[in-house]
Chains A and B, each alone.
Chain A
Amino acid sequence: MNKRLRFWLDERSGYSVIFHFLKEKKIPQHRHSIWYYTGSAILLFFAIQVITGFLLVFYYNPTLEGANASVARIMTEVPLGWIIRSVHSWSASFMIAFVFVHLLSIWITKAYRKPRELTWMSGVFLLFVSLAFGFTGYLLPWDDLSLSATKVGTDIPRSIPIVGIWVTKLLRGGEDVTGDTLTRFFGFHVSILPLFLLAILAVHVYLIQKQGMSIPLEAERKDEKMKELPFWPNFVFREMVVWLVLTGILFSVAVFFPPSLDKAADLMAPAPEGIRPEWYFLFLFQMLKIFPAKILFVNGDTLAVLLILLGIVAFFFLPLIDNKPAERKGKIITVIAYLFIVFALAMTVWSLL
C-alpha cells in the first residue's frame, strides 16, 4: 500500500527527482567544513520560531489595551506559556547569532566568490529580514522598554535626507509610536516578513543546490582533489548531532533564563532610563551614540546613518567588490572582516557598560 501510494504520488508530482538529487549530492570535506553546519542550524531555529510563533498567536492580542495583558496572560495563566515565549525569544537570538556567524564565515573564507555572488546577496537579504523580525517582535510585549526602544529605532531613518521622514511615518503609521504602530508591527511580524523570508529562503536554498558547496580558495587554486562525503545519509547524520545539541542548549537556556515582562507601556510617560535595543543592534546603537552632533556643516546623525547605509550597500555587493579574492585586494578585505568583528564586539561591550 505504502509503495503504491508513493508510486502514485511520484507519477503525479515527480518528487523522487528531489530524493535522487539529495542522494547524489556530495559535501566537500576540509578544515573549514565545520562552517557548513551553521546554515542548517539557522533553519532549525527558524522552524522552532515558526512553531512557537503559531502557539503564541493563539493568545496574543495586538491592541493597545490587550497586548501587554495578553503577554502577561501567556506567562502566568497559559500552561507552559512562559516556556513557549522564552523558547521563541531565545531561538530568535540564536538564529540571528548564527546568521551573523554564517555570513562572517563566508566573508572570511571568501565562499561568495564566482559563481556564488547571488547566493551571498540572498543571504544578506535574509539577514535583514531576520533583523526586521527581531525589531518588530521587540515591540509586541508593549512594555516601557520596548516602546522607548521602538521610538528610538523608528526615529533613526528620519536622518536620511529626502525620504527619511516618510520612512519613519511609514514604520510608525503616523507621527509617533502608537497603537497603530503596534498593529503595523504585528502585521509585519506575522505575515509580511514570513512571506518575504520564505520567498528569499527558497531562492537561497535553490542557489546553494545549484552551485554546490564552495571549497577553500587555496584548494581551488591548486586544483586539489577534495575528499567528499555523501549528503545523505553521512552528512545529514552529522547535522542531526548538531541539531540535537543546539535544541538541548536552547531549551535549557529558555527554562533557566526566561525573558521578563515590564508593566504596560504608557504613551504619556517619560522614557525610562537605560533604553537599549536587542543585543544584535547594540553596536549600531553605540556607534550612533558616540557620533558628534555636528561634523563641519553636516548633522552628525545624518552622517552616521549615511555611513551605515553605505556600509550595508558595500556588504551587499561584497562579492562584486572582492572580485580578486586571491590577490592583495582580497587579503585587505579579509582584514576588514576581522576588524569589523572586533569593532562590533567592542561597541557591544561598551554599550553594555
Chain B
Amino acid sequence: MRKKKKYVALFVLVIAFHSFFLLKPVFAQQVGQKEKTEMTQEVESQEKIIPGPQNITESTGIYVFIVWMWLAIFVLIYILILKIKEVDRLHEIRFISKKIK
C-alpha cells in the first residue's frame, strides 16, 4: 500500500514538472543568440515584465493548487501532531520504566 502511494506521488511529480522540460527541442544556449521567438522579442521591447499566470487556465490552476497545498499541509500537520503525541508517550513510558529498573 505504501509502495503504491510512493509510485503515485512520483507519477504526480513527473506529470507536474514534465511540461517545464518539454517546451521546445531547442538548446538553451541558442535561444538568446539566434532563435529568439516573436514573443521574446515583443517582451524585450517592453519596459518591465510583471510575472503572473499567462492565461485563465494557468491562473485557475495556480489558485486551486494553493488551496489544495494548504489543505494538504493542515491534514499532514494534524497527522504529525497525533504521531508526535504517540511517540512522546512511548518515550515517556520507556523513560519511566528505565527509572523503575
What residues of chain A have their CB less than 8 Å away from a CB belonging to chain B? 55, 57-61, 63, 65-70, 72-73, 75-86, 229-230, 233-234, 237-238, 240-241, 244-245, 247-248, 251-252, 255, 258-264
In the bound complex, residues from chain B placing their C-beta under 8 Å from that of A264 are: 44
Q: Is the CB of A244 within 8 A of B28?
A: no
- Chain B residues, Cβ within 8 Å of A240: 76, 80
- Are A84 and B32 interface neighbours, CB within 8 A? no
Contacts of B37 in A (CB 8 A): 73, 77
Residues of B contacting A58 in the complex (Cβ-Cβ under 8 angstroms): 20-21, 28
A233-B87, A264-B44 as given contacts; A244 in contact with B73, CB under 8 Å: yes
Hey, which chain B residues are within 8 Å of A63, CB to CB? 32-33
CB <8 Å contact, A61 and B29: yes
Count residues of chain B with CB under 8 A from any CB of chain A.
39
- Give the complex CA separation of A229 and B70 in angstroms: 29
> In the bound complex, what is the Cα–Cα distance between A60 and B30 (angstroms)?
10
Report how far A68 CA is from B44 CA in the complex, Å. Answer: 8
Given contacts A55-B20, A80-B19, contact A248 B44 (CB under 8 A): no
Contacts of B93 in A (CB 8 A): none
Q: State the CA gap A72–B39 with chains docked (Å).
A: 10
Given contacts A79-B19, A255-B62, 5 further A-B contacts (CB under 8 A): A58-B20, A69-B40, A77-B37, A247-B73, A248-B70
Interface residues of B in 41-66 (CB under 8 A from A): 43-44, 46-52, 54, 58, 62, 66
Number of residue pairs A-B, CB distance < 8 angstroms: 124
25 contacts between A and B (CB under 8 A): A57-B28, A58-B28, A59-B31, A63-B33, A66-B29, A66-B33, A69-B31, A70-B31, A70-B32, A73-B31, A73-B40, A75-B49, A76-B40, A78-B20, A79-B19, A82-B52, A229-B91, A233-B83, A234-B84, A234-B87, A234-B91, A238-B84, A247-B73, A251-B69, A260-B48
Q: List 9 A-B pairs, minimum CB-CB distance, nearest first.
A: A66-B32, A82-B51, A61-B32, A258-B51, A79-B19, A261-B49, A72-B43, A248-B73, A75-B51
**Per a CB cutoff under 8 Å, which of B20, B77, B84 touches A245?**
B77
With contacts A58-B21, A80-B19, A255-B66 taken as known, whether A263 is within 8 angstroms of B87 at the C-beta atoms is: no
Chain B binding surface SS class: helix
**Min C-beta distance of B38 to chain A, whole Å:** 10
Pairwise interchain contact A259-B51, C-beta atoms closer than 8 A: yes
Q: Mark B1-36, 1 if CB is under 8 A from A, else 0.
A: 000000000000000010111010000110111001
- Which partner residue on chain B sits nearest A65 by CB separation? B32
Bound together, the chains give a CA A73 to CA B54 distance in angstroms of 12
**A260 lies within 8 A of B51 (CB):** yes
Q: In whole angstroms, what is the CA distance A83 to B53 when docked?
A: 9
Q: What is the distance, in angstroms, from A101's C-beta to the closest C-beta of chain B?
A: 22
> Which residues from chain B contact A238 at a C-beta distance below 8 Å?
84
A251 to B92, CA, bound (A): 37
Complex CA distance for A352 and B80, rounded to whole angstroms: 41
| A261 close to B48 (CB less than 8 A) | yes
The answer to whether B48 touches A263, judged by C-beta atoms less than 8 angstroms apart, is yes
Cβ contact within 8 Å between A260 and B77? no
Q: What residues of chain B lie closer than 8 Å to A72, measured between beta carbons?
A: 40, 43-44, 49
> Across the interface, which residues of B come within 8 angstroms of A244, CB to CB?
73, 76-77, 80
Q: Are A230 and B91 in contact (CB under 8 A)?
A: yes
Find out whether the CB atom of A262 lies under 8 angstroms from the CB atom of B47: yes
Give A229 to B94 CA distance when docked, in angstroms. 12
A104 to chain B minimum Cβ distance, whole angstroms, is 27
Nearest A residue to B45 via CB reads A263
Cα–Cα distance between A133 and B5 once the two chains are bound (Å): 37
A contact residues around B83 at 8 Å (CB): 233, 237
**Chain A residues closer than 8 Å to B31, beta-carbon distance:** 59, 61, 66, 69-70, 73
